[in-house]
Amino acid sequence: METTRYYLVAPVTYLGAAQRLTYHSALELEAGRIVEAPVGRRQLLGVVLAASPKPAFATKPITRALALPPLPSDLHLLADWMADYYASPVSSAWGAMLPAGLTRKRRDKSDSEISPGHLPEHALTPEQNRVLEEIGASSQLCHLIQGVTGSGKTRIYLELTAQALARNQSVIVLVPEIILTPQIVGAFEEAFGPAVLASHSKLTEAERHRVWLQAMDSVTQGTPRVIVGPRSCLFMPVSKLGLIVIDECHESTYKQEQHLRYHALPTAARRARIAGAKLVLGSATPGVVEVQLAGVGRISYSKILQRVNNIPQSQGKILDMRNKDLFTSSKFITQQLLSAVEDTVSSGRQALLYINRRGSASSQVCSDCGHVTTCPNCLLPLTFHADLLRFICHHCNFRMPAPAICPECNGSDLRLLGGGTKRIEDELVRLLPHARIARLDRDSATLAHLKSVYSQLRQGKIDILVGTQMIAKGLDLPTVDTVGIINADTMLHLPDFTAAERTYQLISQVSGRAGRGDRPGQIFIQTYSPDHPAITAAASSDFDSFAARELEARRLLGYPPYVYLLKLTIRASSREAATSAAEKYAAALKRRTGIVAIGPAPAFLEIQRGSYHWVITVKSKNRPLLTEIAHSLPDPHWTADLDPINLL
């Protein structure tokens, strides 16, 4: 007679409260097997968690087990940890881990032989050797490498990967966005050939599924692999994980903002801990949270201050926009920057002009003294709302009419920050009619356009590139001599606790585009706040003093890493409904001890897809208090974001 076995199964689809269901089957199934089972009238995928004793209630049978080996056990532990740490159903964690289209049959791609790799021939620099020794000598789980742009961090990742493969261990390398960082993938493929499995956001569902199946195969065969790809690659099944690398670890793409709102850094640290692997973080401008962890000895820390080509990073020239004499032929571009661009173009070299678009959200600055209109409670910039003719604080909901004169200098030339790439492009066309100008921003950025602009730049067919964040990253062009930041304040005066940090990072990144060839290049930073520490420190590449000041400010104002944050957002069909629900809940939260609740206030983007969004920010030194709130939201119209990377 057949034995009936019982299993606890975690559905991969969100089913409200039901997180673990019991089924029966005649099959003997190991934990980690993926099965199809009935839920109501649907057939859903689930992961077998464990065998279970016969329950008191009637069970349904498992429909079938997918012809896949069981998922590695480290992924189980990680899914449980994520569900707990981010106060989410475990089904969301599994949903984030497994590729879509799992039940589809995919044509097998024959696996080629995995051969030992070929590392680049040229010798490591003394700096690179030192960092490798420091990582080897450290007993810490996590190691932070802070290396200026062009310091050869990729080569260090390659060496560490080769060491892991030699121990028969797999490696996961996370990159912010492969489309913008093609060199790093190329470097890994060149070094490790078919051992590399690369994934990126532009792959189709079928392609991504196939990469995942190949990874699963290597688990069965015990073959080490090198996985290179975005955030989601953190969950790839691999055989004997030995190393996780997170490149450009400060990037915001490592935070998932939908469904399961997790951050890849703590999640990677947890996976590394479970697997007994090492985590290596790399960045020219790491987040101050990581710097603080290094400062208290929780992670080890290496710095590389020299570029591989030994050309020093140029000092940025700060141009004070309050000085109206600097603007002779253009309202937006100072004469000094314009002349530099002109000289660069006429000597056959290239210029990049960077504009931040996110800031077109209308903070107000006095063009005479640089004073920013700020919330008296939160000390964060107020945002102007043209429909209400009012400034609003998006944290505490403080409101005031637009001031006519500057309270600081009595000047009357108060300006809203903003101004898009198109306007600057038009201005340049007018001023430099003979230059070949191209524009790159979110609106114009299809993959094909991106590739065509890159290749035209390489061939010297473009003289000036105007763009947003898209041009700040990854561009490695030896002939860029001049870099200009049109208005650094648009980032600086966003009403958010990370604004100064983002400003420092962006100025450094954009500046890093210059001087990658044989000349140091020149960098111009236009700003109304020439004395702001984020701007002066970024201009002189003085990361340590920036980080120290920024951490002190965070400590005084009560922001991470000194408190934990929880952002609660309600979505409603009318402003009245959103406001009244938010006020009611905020009042209840304000009665609790051990936490501070701020708001409610309209979200930075109050109306999204026809719904009204209001937010409450909760702070606490005790993270479990926040997890508890996130676990017990009043109704499904609320969403919780633990450890948000901004409060916008």
* Closest to 243 in 3D by CA, of 301, 297, 163, 144: 163
In the bound state with Zn ion, the residue whose beta carbon lies nearer, of 97 and 492, is 492
Number of other CB atoms surrounding residue 304 within 10 Å: 22
- Asked if 412 interacts with Zn ion (CB under 5 A), we say no
Cα dihedral value 257, 259, 260, 264, nearest 10: -40
Interface residue with Zn ion among 338, 361, 375, 432 (CB under 5 A) is 375
Number of other CB atoms surrounding residue 114 within 10 Å: 18
Q: Judging by DSSP bridges, how do beta strands 564-572 and 638-642 pair with one another?
A: antiparallel
- Asked if 366 interacts with Zn ion (CB under 5 A), we say yes
In angstroms, give the least distance from the CB of 532 to Zn ion: 15
One-letter amino acid of 143: H
- Asked if 193 interacts with Zn ion (CB under 5 A), we say no
**Is residue 143 within 8 Å of residue 279, measured between CB atoms?**
yes
**Is residue 42 within 8 Å of residue 70, measured between CB atoms?**
no
In angstroms, give the least distance from the CB of 377 to Zn ion: 4
Q: How far is the C-alpha of 448 from the C-alpha of 179, rounded, in Å? A: 11
- Asked if 414 interacts with Zn ion (CB under 5 A), we say no
* Closest to 425 in 3D by CA, of 355, 372, 369, 488: 355
Interface residue with Zn ion among 114, 243, 352, 378 (CB under 5 A) is 378
- Asked if 396 interacts with Zn ion (CB under 5 A), we say yes
In angstroms, give the least distance from the CB of 287 to Zn ion: 24
Give the per-residue SS3 of 255-295.
ECCCCCCCEHHHHHHHHHHHHCCEEEEEECCCCHHHHHHHH
- Asked if 395 interacts with Zn ion (CB under 5 A), we say yes
- Asked if 406 interacts with Zn ion (CB under 5 A), we say yes
In angstroms, give the least distance from the CB of 411 to Zn ion: 4
In angstroms, give the least distance from the CB of 500 to Zn ion: 17
Q: How far is the C-alpha of 126 from the C-alpha of 142, rounded, in Å? A: 22
Interface residue with Zn ion among 226, 393, 485, 486 (CB under 5 A) is 393
Interface residue with Zn ion among 159, 368, 425, 427 (CB under 5 A) is 368
- Asked if 201 interacts with Zn ion (CB under 5 A), we say no
In the bound state with Zn ion, the residue whose beta carbon lies nearer, of 18 and 405, is 405
In the bound state with Zn ion, the residue whose beta carbon lies nearer, of 384 and 454, is 384
**Is residue 227 within 8 Å of residue 241, measured between CB atoms?**
no
Number of chain positions touching Zn ion (CB under 5 A): 15
Candidates 176-184, 252-260, 367-375, 626-634: pick the segment binding Zn ion (CB under 5 A): 367-375
Q: How far is the C-alpha of 264 from the C-alpha of 233, rounded, in Å? A: 10
Candidates 369-377, 506-514, 518-526, 553-561: pick the segment binding Zn ion (CB under 5 A): 369-377
In angstroms, give the least distance from the CB of 296 to Zn ion: 30
In the bound state with Zn ion, the residue whose beta carbon lies nearer, of 128 and 617, is 617
- DSSP label of 381: B
Interface residue with Zn ion among 409, 416, 435, 572 (CB under 5 A) is 409
In the bound state with Zn ion, the residue whose beta carbon lies nearer, of 227 and 393, is 393
Task: Take residue 114 and report the two structure tokens written for it.
Answer: 């995995």
Q: Which of residues 278-337 bind Zn ion (CB under 5 A)?
A: none
Distances from the Cα of 75 to the Cαs of 65, 79, 89, 267, in angstroms? 19, 6, 15, 11
Candidates 111-119, 277-285, 339-347, 409-417: pick the segment binding Zn ion (CB under 5 A): 409-417
In angstroms, give the least distance from the CB of 393 to Zn ion: 3
Distances from the Cα of 197 to the Cαs of 67, 297, 360, 476, in angstroms? 22, 34, 39, 24
Residue that is written with structure tokens 């109304």 in the block: 528
In angstroms, give the least distance from the CB of 462 to Zn ion: 39
Residue numbers at the binding site for Zn ion (CB under 5 A): 366, 368-369, 371, 375, 377-378, 393, 395-396, 398, 406, 408-409, 411
